Amino acid sequence: MLKRLVSTALVALVVLALLPAGGDAQAPGPIKIGVIQPLSGPVAASGNYVRMGAEIARDWINARGGVNGRRVELVIEDNKSDPKEAASAAEKLIVRDKVPAIMGAWGSSMTLAAMPKLEEYGVPMVVETSSAASVTKRGNPWVFRISPPSEMEALGLEQYVEKLGVKKADFLAVNTDWGRGSITAFGDMLRKKGVQVGAAEFMEQAATDMNAQLTKIKQTGGDTLFLTTAVEQITLVLKQGQEQRLARKIITTGGSSSPTQLIKQAGAAAEGSYHIVFFMPWFPEAMPDGRLARAFVDEWTKRGNPFEGLTEGFRGHDGVATIVEAVRLAGRDEPKAIQEALWKVSFTGVNGPIKFEKDGPAGKESGQSKPSIFIVQVRDGKVALPDFLKK
């Protein structure tokens, strides 16, 4: 009997010795952040650049010891440039992967499709790219956008309309919430400035032949073409416009033009074009935090990422950094706590200051930050500041 008691006691001691310190307490796992981007499909280049920027943010944060002593892990889903896939990706991340927050989903139509899932499950999302006004106007308290809506972008350009010499403007945009919203926002701003607004043409996201739309635009007698789509289609429009001898000042909107890529792929067809951007990797010292901007460009280059992706990649960095700052302020990685903490976020990202203000219907407001907005020009085969901005 005594031998049996001694044997039982020894077994118990061995079991206790194998348990982690503190009894059944376990070391906390990583903080998961969901990422939804178009990693395949028509706008895959942009989505992958955002992913690369998100990975830099993750690695920098982990190198500094993580957040609240825990490592950050990205759980990445491909929305395949498709709104239905974006909604499915959001549900997978929330239900299967148990992420407490998401960054996504690049295009406005994809973000809008994912938004009902956020409200259904009560999980916040930081929107890093989408420009449609409805993203924040629809009324979803789980949405926090760090990119400018088209209205804000148009206001950023308003001060330069006279200097750009815009008298009569036409529009060519991708047939999505982003493209349609951009035409409305910029059209309204231009009319208020006394500019005549001409044709408004659309192209499907996967379209490669825009000659019919350009032929109609050529006949309006306008002097400026506002172009809203991803860089792949911008390249095609520039080339096809050159072939048609379209004499227009071209201004791209949405910050997804990647002027460096246009110089490489469109060549002389890109000469003279203007581009609204939200990060100037060619002039990092001119950004609100020049040291951070330079460090981001250097890290991006060191990793062998294509330079032309920087105008999209910074979005991924700032989106992840925003969620991490909210987790730090909340002190825990729970969806509701992160949502509440996002209203308290105030720091400077690669784009500039990030701080949310309420936007949308009372009681269901989304968060909207006021990003930095810039304009650059392709001149002599390089990206340059327009003459009126050189000072």
Q: What are the residue ranges of CATH 3.40.50.2300 in the chain?
A: 31-148+288-368, 152-277
Architecture of domain 152-277: 3-Layer(aba) Sandwich (3.40)
* Mean pLDDT calculated for residue range 376-388: 95
Name which CATH class applies to 31-148+288-368: alpha beta
Angle between helices 150-158 and 177-192 (to 10 degrees): 30
User: For 109, phi and psi rounded to 5 degrees?
Assistant: -65, -35
User: What b/e string do you get for 159-181 counting C-beta neighbours within 10 Å, with b at 16 or more?
Assistant: ebbeebebeebbbbbbebbbbbb
Residues 6+ apart with CB under 8 A from 89: 36, 77, 78, 79, 104, 105, 114
The pLDDT tens digits of the residues spanning 319-336 come to 999 999 999 999 999 999
The pLDDT tens digits of the residues spanning 206-258 come to 999 999 999 999 999 999 999 999 999 999 999 999 999 999 999 999 998 99
Angle between helices 290-302 and 310-330 (to 10 degrees): 110
The pLDDT tens digits of the residues spanning 266-296 come to 999 999 999 999 999 999 999 999 999 999 9
Q: What is the mean pLDDT of the chain?
A: 93
User: For 280, phi and psi rounded to 5 degrees?
Assistant: -115, 85
pTM of the model: 0.90
C-beta separation of 89 from 78 below 8 A: yes
Confidence of residue 388 (pLDDT cuts 50, 70, 90): confident
Residues 6+ apart with CB under 8 A from 172: 201, 202, 203, 210, 213, 214, 217, 225, 226, 227, 228, 229, 237
The pLDDT tens digits of the residues spanning 332-366 come to 999 999 999 999 999 999 999 999 999 999 999 99
User: What letter would DSSP give residue 67?
Assistant: B
Give the Cα separation of 288 and 369 in Å (integer). Answer: 15
Q: What are the counts of helices (DSSP H) followed by strands (DSSP E) for the chain?
A: 14, 16
The pLDDT tens digits of the residues spanning 46-76 come to 999 999 999 999 999 999 999 989 999 999 9
